[in-house]
Amino acid sequence: MENTLLNTQELLNDLKDEIISNRRYLHQHPELSFEEKETSSFIETKLIEYGFEQIEHYGKYGLVGRLKGNLPGPTVALRADFDALPIQDQKDTPYKSKVDGKMHACGHDGHTAALLGVSKVLKQVEDQLKGNVLVLFQPAEEKPPGGAKFMIEDGVLDEVDVIFGAHLDTSSPVGTVSVGSGYQMAAADHFKIEIKGQGGHGAYPHQTVDSIVIGTTVVNSLQQIVSRKVNPQQAAVVTVGTFHAGQAFNVIPDSVVIEGTVRTFEEDVQNLVEQEIHAISTGIAQSFGAEATVTYEKGYPSLYNHVNETEIVREAVSEIFGENVRPMKSTMGAEDFAFYLKKTPGSFFKVGARNQDPKTQFPHHHPSFDFDEEALINTGKSFLAILNKYVF
């Protein structure tokens, strides 16, 4: 209903100072993944203050505020994450992190503050709900296996019909919202290759099985997986991030340890790359008379935005932001909201958070990361506009 949408937007605008205050408090008191005890307690205190009578706990430090409408309707979940990163805050602001080596460098403090604002608004209009709303606050998005996995295992989605999440985006101007269906973020896997050769003196390589030569051959060959094994119309990334070997310049080491990441969208490509990493590593090692052991760990799945729900998001936010709603560009970055979308229909969108001030234009995970706090209100307005399509 149009009147309800306008009413909730106005109620949210009235909370702007409080929302910004909550964000700044969280920014000053960051906690790392799976360590967010005080952050979780802060959120719960706020929900109680707002009048929530049903607050449930899931996983480690995850919590949900539940609102039940007077009339039947769908159960809609809105998610915000609240963990920080092991980064030293280099900003010169009054709300700079007070904890050495820890800061909110990805906007999770903003996600939480925005959803808390939405929570307060929803409690004020609870009697108008046609269905149920879950405000879902999740820890540990940054650290695999991620907080979403454990909340789902504890049953957080068991009665949920649809779920939505938002992410602040300093690559897009404040006032814009990016929406897109299909694959939008990649699966993120980790591989480790341990090559065992036979070390010896650097002057007598013929008496060794040189693990470094084998390892570099493996690294070079891994680059051919994407270019020669994966369909050019499908996306994949194979990146080697570490190569550990040796301790002396004149000694050929016994072993090499190589680690890296694989990013894919489709499961068949993911499985193909895993198989090729095994085959290439073991095959090359064997050809040199060495042994290779490959450990492959699948991390967050690829994030697939469901078509119908994404179109509802697009329609909803267009009523607020008009022509400033733009297509979302898919990325090989990862996000554990993907776990929710594998179990429940929904969509994940991005809210522009940069302005002309260079201080708002640093990339995510940068030690000077910050954003235009108007994006907090825009995130909240987006959530309320989506809810207007389902429960009002």
Looking at the annotation, which residues are catalytic? 83, 141
108 is in an annotated binding site: yes
Angle, helices 374-388 vs 108-124, to 10°: value is: 50
106 is in an annotated binding site: yes
278 is in an annotated binding site: no
364 is in an annotated binding site: no
Residues 6+ apart with CB under 8 A from 114: 19, 23, 80, 166, 376, 377, 379, 380, 383
306 is in an annotated binding site: no
> Pairing between strand 200-201 and 346-354?
unpaired
Binding positions for Mn(2+) are 106, 108, 142, 167, 365
